[in-house]
Structure 1
Amino acid sequence: AGFDLFQWVAAYGSDHFHNDFTFYYTAARIGVTHGWQSIYDLGLQQSELDAIGSRIRIAELARYISPPPLAWLALPFTLLPYPLAYLLWSALLLAALAGTWYLAAPGAGRARLIHLVAALAWLPVIYALQLGQPGLFVALGVAGSYALLRSNRQFLSGLALGVIVLKPQLGFLLPIALLAGGRYRAVAGAAVGIGLLLLASAVNVGPHGIAAYAQRLSFAADVPVNRQLTIALVIGGLAAARLVQGAIAVWALALAYRLRKQSSEWMFVLAILGGLLATPYLHLDDLVMLGLAVWLYLRIPGRPRWSWAFVLALVIAAEGIPEWGPLPLIAGEIAALLLLSVAALSHQADDAEHHKAVDAVAISSRDGRRLR
């Protein structure tokens, strides 16, 4: 963990600007000076990049294509010189990681601290920190939603999912999983939180901004590197991949429905894992959500003891992506969904046996009363 943090600081020292926060910062500056409808204007983005001395040229992966709320979040930082703004943004990301760990990590005492140190040593996390990516903010919001749901504050739990709008591909299945799981007040909260932010975004950027955003997303969908960690890598054809991804999303939601009477960890794990397999757009830093799913799974009571080994293999598969590519991780995620399916069927069988036993007791009691 210490070495990874050193590498992060060294990377920042050698080049302040080659990270994604640069684009959030410039988009916020465009919004203030040229109007929020212009934040997706590539010419203005280049002008702002030049104005802050970044030496970055607009390219396939070097442009602002995030939803407006991310630029709003960066707005206060534009009052500061860029180097200081990046440092404070990074401090917030570290705080988000600590908050996610506090709310979601399993165990107690020193065992929990091991999870925090492991997170800081995990490549997806350190890469997300280096890039200044908002995935850790999304992870914190989802962990907060989980904690609120556990304490039976369903509406607030759903409201916390509004953070998904910062990076929708990281948690788009969560509100639907809550619906499948019968947490209707949480769904109402999510509808309010997400709906208000979407409405505010539409009003903020207007028809011109919406059209420009749609164009940027369409372009991003055709950039091969954006699909390299998705199941499209295995399927090949984009249309076929979309069908498979849709089927996986339905599969994960069906499991959430099947396990709706179990602890809330199941819904979150299935929605996150299914979403990572179903998303059309995924990068290494986005796998911070896989880490959150792992923590939540390890909190499930009665899970198999050997599941530790499987979880560790999944984490190592993500760590080694630069060495052996994404196929081991994709295979591991599919295997995880299959194992969760077995668990769902097992729970259904247990529930059926329980109901039979209850019915048998009721019949026996009724017959006993008749004999008397």
Structure 2
Amino acid sequence: MDFRGYYASARIAIRDGFQRIYDPHLQREVQQDILRSLPFRPNSEDYPIALTPYLPIFMVLFIPFSVFSPLPGFLIWSLLNLCIGVLYLRRRWVSGPGWDKLWIVMASYPALTNLFWGQPTVFMMIALGEFLIALRARRSGRAGLWLSMLLIKPQTLFLILPGLALARHWRTLGAFAGGALILLGSSVVLLGSDGIAGYMAQLREASLASAGHPSFHPEVQMNWRAFALVLQPWLPDQIRWGLAMIILVLSGVGALGLWKMRGSTEPFTWSLRLLGTLAATGAAAWHAHTHQAMILIPCLLDLLHYNLLNRRVLLAWAFAPWLAAGVGLLLAWIHPPLISPEAVLPGQTLLVFNIYFLIYATMKLKHFKILK
């Protein structure tokens, strides 16, 4: 699981300093020790190194959990993330007797797989939610600072930032740049020159080859790249990559088009714009695992509150990937040569929802523009 890499990085930071956390030899040593410490004793040689190409400032989050042995540290981290996610959504996005909506989104495939893998996506969801609230309140500085927290996974920003530029939100972009400089500057101080070289080397390793590093499992993601990889047994390369490029281009163009639309100033228009942009990002990004879809939750709950999103759509988004995973397990049992269908099918299901949400947001914004 991904937590293994975060935990190993925190252990290395404490023992050897932050400048060593991207050392592949130390990572292999510590991660193999983690695997050997687990109760079920997996063969550590069967697992690739879990790469952690995050800015080192974000690794600070995991240091308190590294004082525990690996399994308790993971369980405490995941339980804390669950509690933080529930409390935040309840306080900010679910009012009145809305516990059913809260449990739907927290039992969704993106939310629970985030907990299973030990990812920090809950904090990204909070940052996105606060970014949305600040935009509505026209607090551009605060919005930009919250947006800079998405640098945990920079690929989530590659459509939002151009969108803000198209909409001429210069103050928001300026505040984002300020927040980014603080995070980058802190990371440089933690790493030093040797650590920076190691970090750049890990980024290069993570981006090598079309299939990426084996610990990234590109075939189970929810993007155009996974779409092309899944079709490999059935379609020629030119056709499947051609179709994937169509998804990439249309998603990117469609998302940026949301930021050029003018019309209604109702607060929910921000939720529509961000939902479409983030869904398109999930479809168009080079790297987009299914747990990343958790950052859509504040937008989905807000649109449900304004009766702009059908409850059945929310239920389908939350649980259709679980059904797809069940179908995948059945297929894996019937036809063992298939590669991880229990993870591939949920990714493709969420790709469909990414495209659906982009189309939905576009149509709704056009509708309110006409009404105005």
Q: Mapping of 1:121-140 within 5 angstroms?
A: 121-140=107-126
- Give, in whole Å, the separation in 2 of the partners of 1:151 and 1:103: 17
2:319 counterpart of 1:333: no
Counterpart position of 1:33: 15
Please report how far the alpha carbon of residue 77 of structure 1 lies from its aligned counterpart in structure 2 after TM superposition: 2.8
Letter in 2 for 1:179: A
Aligned alpha-carbon RMSD (Å): 3.0
Contact 1:30 1:44 in 2 (8 A): yes
Counterpart position of 2:81: 93
Counterpart position of 2:367: 346
- Give, in whole Å, the separation in 2 of the partners of 1:309 and 1:91: 28
Counterpart position of 1:142: 128
Q: Give CA-to-partner distance per residue, 1:99-155, whole Å, 9 cap, x none.
A: 44135535x311x21122223322321221122111111111111222233333221
Counterpart position of 2:218: 226
- Counterparts in 2 of 1:282 and 1:40: CA distance versus 1, 3 Å: same
- Give, in whole Å, the separation in 1 of the partners of 2:210 and 2:15: 29
2:101 counterpart of 1:109: no
Q: Which has the higher contact order (CA 8 A, sep 6+)?
A: 2
Identical amino acids, percent of aligned pairs? 22
Q: Mapping of 1:64-79 within 5 angstroms?
A: 64-79=52-67
2:30 counterpart of 1:43: no
Structure 2: gaps of 5 or more residues: 230-236, 328-344
- Give, in whole Å, the separation in 2 of the partners of 1:318 and 1:181: 34
- Counterparts in 2 of 1:49 and 1:179: CA distance versus 1, 3 Å: same
Q: Mapping of 1:274-353 within 5 angstroms?
A: 274-299=280-305, 301=306, 303=308, 307-324=310-327, 325=345, 326-351=347-372
Letter in 2 for 1:226: P
2:251 counterpart of 1:248: yes
- Give, in whole Å, the separation in 2 of the partners of 1:74 and 1:35: 14
Structure 1: gaps of 5 or more residues: 1-18, 352-372
- Give, in whole Å, the separation in 1 of the partners of 2:189 and 2:241: 33
- Give, in whole Å, the separation in 1 of the partners of 2:282 and 2:292: 9
* Number of residue pairs the alignment of both structures matches: 328
- Give, in whole Å, the separation in 2 of the partners of 1:318 and 1:92: 24
The correspondence for 2:272, drawn from 260, 266, 275, is 266
Where 1:258 maps in the other structure, the secondary structure is: coil
Bigger Cα displacement from structure 2, 234-243 vs 253-262: 234-243
- Give, in whole Å, the separation in 2 of the partners of 1:169 and 1:227: 17
- Give, in whole Å, the separation in 2 of the partners of 1:201 and 1:220: 27
- Counterparts in 2 of 1:272 and 1:201: CA distance versus 1, 3 Å: same
- Counterparts in 2 of 1:57 and 1:75: CA distance versus 1, 3 Å: farther
Contact 2:107 2:318 in 1 (8 A): no
- Counterparts in 2 of 1:45 and 1:58: CA distance versus 1, 3 Å: farther
